[in-house]
Structure 1
């Protein structure tokens, strides 16, 4: 890796604040879990079921960020603030509309959703209460998501970081007050989260539609319905992509569970470590979306290619660093998560996969960001579907072939190798920045 590049400052200016913003949510979730855990097993279980529901909701609607960033970024690169502003308004209107629909659906279908998620009878009442309270912040969550995408397009990740840290502090501060002082229990945790998210959404709206409106080129004009269609198309493509990815990882967990209790316990630890490390590289993916779209908007595909190349180098370097660090922690890290010797042994059997795949992960996650910046969403969807099918074949052979937990991680490795190969093809051929991958 070349030690310095003229693009490094831009990359770090975007990636470092993005990392802080990305980390804030999971950290506060840990705080929520710690507080609710003091209430007992049933409230904690009810929180766990709801966490899965709201995590999947975010996955479905994350196109509001990923679709907004490149559109705003291209307009900014083209020095067209009015078009950037129009893209922001469209994203916010769509976020509010979809958020209201999601709120209504969650309220009406709360019980069936919890049944599908496997909530037992003893979990149903507290889980239902939590879901219905937290669902009140559905529009707020999607407004926050769209606002993140907007500011990233304006090459600003500091503002979202500050707002995100702020409303998560509100959430964390309200948790003990509502849970214990007001004695609302699990419902208090839901209320704290909902209030915090509305504080964040209203802060973003204040900044975008009032305080920074003129600077950002935003005009308060209702968008024509047909101008929202491109966002919905991006949503379709990203849903197919993400559903294929999540489905593969879910299948991996299911196959690990069929191997045995020890195997699935070890897999859970390995998968959580994998997810945590992905967070670090996601910050580079955010920078990739913003910078690539900006240069393409300025009709400068050569600079887009150069900054993308530098981001690839950063992704590889971070991946190698994470892999080496993880390997150095091998003697102590498994024991931090479990004291069961059989689970530790099973985890060590697949530990090398987590280590060796880190450089590949760095390339893949940054590559995703580059493709999103180039708005190659249809290609990402098709490539992920094909790769997921290949990985699924390996995973479905785990039990018949007796491959055990190691076989499960060979399936995950197949997924990641397939992803890097499909991302590399248009990139190496040079067609991505010329016309986008089809």
Structure 2
């Protein structure tokens, strides 16, 4: 059965063109405003949910039936995106909580499900508007970090911690580069701007000094190259060699990079020799050890997200970790933090957030349709990037980052599903 025939076909009968165009602008505005004005970006997320509700209501019974078919056919994907809020409910039920409540921090992942229908109704041209938001985000982030990092590595950029800021700037830059695959032959200006955005994302990651983010650069580059059918193998090899050369050159020419990489060895040595544990690496090692102890003590329920900091204080009182480590809000590792706070269900939920979408997009990355390959590469870059970022940071600790993951995932998924159904995008009347 061809999915979304009615969902796409009835667009212009129930929804005004101005509303459709507004939704396209809002979709592009979300990543563009993500760091500049988080409140507006959050508003964009809410408006897109409203668009999804209007889209579903205007599609009638036939459209609702088609949406139900999407849910049934792709239920593993839906379950994976709803896994973290479900893990929160399981934890509350298992510990006998008086009231069941899923904080908005976790609920945003489940909102992927209604967002999908809004993305489907935007159609192919509408969904592609997000590429300009990626480009603006990377460019603005690079300029902003260039300014604030002039006096040294900052702890925050605006409202955001520098680590997720640098990570997402890198990711949006690479997503902009991947979107070059949507360009028509001869659109050199657009392709050039997207390449500039890609370099801006690399520069923002460099200026942030986020070593965990640097680990993701070759992974994201490989995914971007895998999506391209225009480049021959030797072209791709040359790009990889150039990127490697650029990274080596950056290491040799940048005192900051040398200092940040040398600090890893130094801090590890200090921690092992018990000189001091209150370094960036030392604190992480303490948090990981404490998290493992919490998992061992509470394997199925964890201590609960609201009790994690109190548990760290208990460890500090027992001299298991230092007072500095006890002030940290999370484990600095996505998997360990989920398992420590939500138990094994939380661990499985995070793995599902990474691996189920990765398997879906990897399967479609080998397809013959160019548009599908581009969207699949974006989706794979999203979950792979977060997977690498999560090795040394808890990215899912803020509602804005969670909204970014949920919304971009909904866009990538809807684009692939729409193309797989062999339906053309709705065009303006």
Task: State if a TM-score over 0.5 links the two structures.
Answer: no
Taking structure 1 as the reference length, the TM-score comes to 0.25
Greater helix share, structure number = 1
Taking structure 2 as the reference length, the TM-score comes to 0.25
